[in-house]
Amino acid sequence: MLDAQLTAQLKTYLENLVHPVVLSANFDDGPKSAELAQLLDEIAALSDKVTVDAERGAHGDRRPSFTIEREGAPDVAATFAGLPMGHEFTSLVLALLHVGGHPSNAAVEVIEQVAALEGEHVFETYMSLSCQNCPDVVQALNLMSTINPGISHTAIDGGLFQDEVESRKVMAVPTVFLNGELFGQGRMTLEEIVGKLDTGAAQRTADEIAAKEPFEVLVVGGGPGGAAAAIYAARKGIRTGVVSERFGGQVLDTMAIENFVSVTHTEGPKMAAALEEHVRQYEVDVMDLQRARSIKPADEPGGHVTVELENGAQVRGRSVVLATGARWRNLGVPGEAEYRNKGVTYCPHCDGPLFKGKAVAVIGGGNSGAEAAIDLAGVVAHVTLVEFDPQLRADEVLQRKLRSLPNVDILVGARTTEVVGDGDGVTGLRYEDRESGDVRDLAVEGVFVQIGLLPNTEWLAGSVDLSDRGEIVIDDRGQTSMPGVFAAGDCTTVPYKQIVIAMGGGATAGLSAFDHLIRTSAPALVGT
């Protein structure tokens, strides 16, 4: 199961085990059980602190599955139903280490929050081995299960346990259940999960943020543009803060990045982690899991611009960089919201395997839509690409590939009018033929929306100048219409929405913010 390189890496990691661990396995007669047995034996052979006990877990309901338990402390455990390979191999390694007593790199205050949670919390996560967002959730919940004995977690390969996926109506990954009830879907960080469980956390965080002294440069947004702005500002030795809903932004939802100069290939979560690591090398105050609600200009030249957060806290900066990015654009038709994560989805890489053997539609004939249709064609039974315009907008090379696939149909001049379902999931797509005006139905069980980006700027309406598309209007220095406020990245009028361009814009905005500071006088602090 493990090649020589993985074997060597894992052997090195297992040297960090403090306590012995037991791999308690549940097998059946199927081939996946045989593969799991081989994997567990290979792991156990790498450390004298790891043993396999197939009898201890012999009565488990899910087969194949195994639980990593600390010897003598069975409440310190993490369970996998299936083979945690692919993207989940790292989750397996971390689970072994954390159950075995190796300390986590999570913040001390977050670990203390987890340890203080009261009650029984039984988590189950349905994941896909090809999903880049699933490991974050799996690793967070696994860690929590090793910190607090009242928390348990099972990571379930949705592709292997299809009956459960169908019965629990799981149509997107990751999907998390808590004590049998739906807890959440999509990428969630450890801090987000703990925040949902610890009801007093939001107010404590708001009080902490409100008590902070004004920043010289305040960056709103933690994607590539915001990270670059923070780095370029912090390198000048000035006090810099970052307010971010989730550090990494839209990059976290990007599977493959093959156009970033100097890097032939990387994945979004890896790049996001690298961005955060680089930012934290400087004395940057990162305020994560926060959304901005409004912005107020300074009362005087060189004064403090005020940003109000949704939790009510106000944070101030002598200069502000807006790098709030963009999100996937919605169809805005009946049924889309009702069936989101019940057949309507936005990531073909993550959710595609859940539609194996089914017919799906991809909405959008640009490059992202064409790439999604090509990827899905190798997984699902049939793909119909639906484009509003009379012709596809994708590159010619992608169009040729699309038209060569036997299980792909292309509809152009089609306006999607409704997502149709039976209450539990999607059953079809209704569209209007723009040439004839006829309304037609397409039988599908999944709808993948790929129609571009929408800037996260609604909260700025009436405060700074926005384009007709809702983008922040900037000049060549990143300056907005509000003095001392700059902007960068996908939320602006920059002509191309690319990671490398967002980073360049962030660097420009950060340098412009610094230039603003040296050209304006710092206001006197109250009480001095």
Stronger pLDDT, 284 or 202, i.e. the higher one: 284
φ, ψ dihedrals at 384, nearest 5°: -115, 120
**Do both 56 and 95 map to the same domain?**
yes
**Do both 178 and 42 map to the same domain?**
yes
Contact, 126 vs 173, CB < 8 A?
Answer: yes
**Do both 38 and 169 map to the same domain?**
yes
Q: Flag whether pLDDT at 254 surpasses 80.
A: no
CATH number at residue 273: 3.50.50.60
Contact, 520 vs 301, CB < 8 A?
Answer: yes
Mean residue pLDDT of the chain comes to 93
**Model confidence over 408-442: pLDDT tens digits?**
999 999 999 999 999 989 999 999 999 999 999 99
**Do both 174 and 63 map to the same domain?**
yes
Give mean pLDDT, residues 324-347: 91
Please provide the size of the chain in residues.
528
Residues linked to residue 326 through DSSP beta bridges, in sequence order = 455
**Model confidence over 355-396: pLDDT tens digits?**
999 999 999 999 989 999 999 999 999 999 999 999 999 999
Which of these ranges, 126-130, 380-384, 466-470, has the smallest mean pLDDT? 126-130
Residues linked to residue 287 through DSSP beta bridges, in sequence order = 243
Contact, 490 vs 499, CB < 8 A?
Answer: no
Give mean pLDDT, residues 508-527: 83
Q: Is residue 106 part of a domain?
A: yes
**Do both 89 and 37 map to the same domain?**
yes
Among 252, 274, 149, 234, residue whose Cα is nearest residue 192: 252
Residues linked to residue 11 through DSSP beta bridges, in sequence order = none
Q: Is residue 86 part of a domain?
A: yes
- Confidence label for 17 from pLDDT (cuts 50, 70 and 90): very high
Other CB atoms within a 10 A radius of the CB of residue 97 amount to: 20
pLDDT of residue 201: 80
Q: Is residue 334 part of a domain?
A: no
**Do both 212 and 178 map to the same domain?**
no
pLDDT of residue 528: 47
**Model confidence over 292-322: pLDDT tens digits?**
999 999 999 889 999 999 999 999 999 999 9
| Tokens at 276, concatenated | 């955060």
**Model confidence over 81-98: pLDDT tens digits?**
999 998 899 999 999 999
**Do both 314 and 255 map to the same domain?**
yes
Give mean pLDDT, residues 155-176: 91
Q: Is residue 528 part of a domain?
A: no
pLDDT of residue 58: 58
Residues linked to residue 487 through DSSP beta bridges, in sequence order = 322
**Do both 259 and 369 map to the same domain?**
no
Q: Is residue 110 part of a domain?
A: yes
Q: Flag whether pLDDT at 267 surpasses 60.
A: yes
pTM of structure: 0.76
**Do both 421 and 459 map to the same domain?**
no
pLDDT above 90: percentage of residues in the chain:
79
Among 451, 469, 491, the domain-final residue is 451
pLDDT above 70: percentage of residues in the chain:
97
pLDDT of residue 37: 95
Contact, 194 vs 187, CB < 8 A?
Answer: no
**Do both 447 and 459 map to the same domain?**
no
**Do both 461 and 505 map to the same domain?**
yes
For 362-372, b where at least 16 C-beta lie within 10 A, e where not — what string? bbbbbebbbbb
**Do both 428 and 469 map to the same domain?**
no
Q: Is residue 406 part of a domain?
A: yes
Among 207, 190, 182, residue whose Cα is nearest residue 113: 190
Cα end-to-end distance, the chain, whole Å:
67
For 468-507, b where at least 16 C-beta lie within 10 A, e where not — what string? eeebbebeeebbbebbbbbbbbbbbebeebebebbbbbbb
Number of domains in the chain: 3
Among 451, 471, 497, the domain-final residue is 451
Q: Is residue 526 part of a domain?
A: no
Q: Flag whether pLDDT at 284 surpasses 70.
A: yes
Structural domain of 145: 4-199
Q: Is residue 58 part of a domain?
A: yes
Strands (DSSP E) contained in 245-328 are: 284-288, 292-296, 305-309, 314-322, 326-328
Among 137, 171, 199, the domain-final residue is 199
Q: DSSP code of 424? A: S
CATH number at residue 134: 3.40.30.80
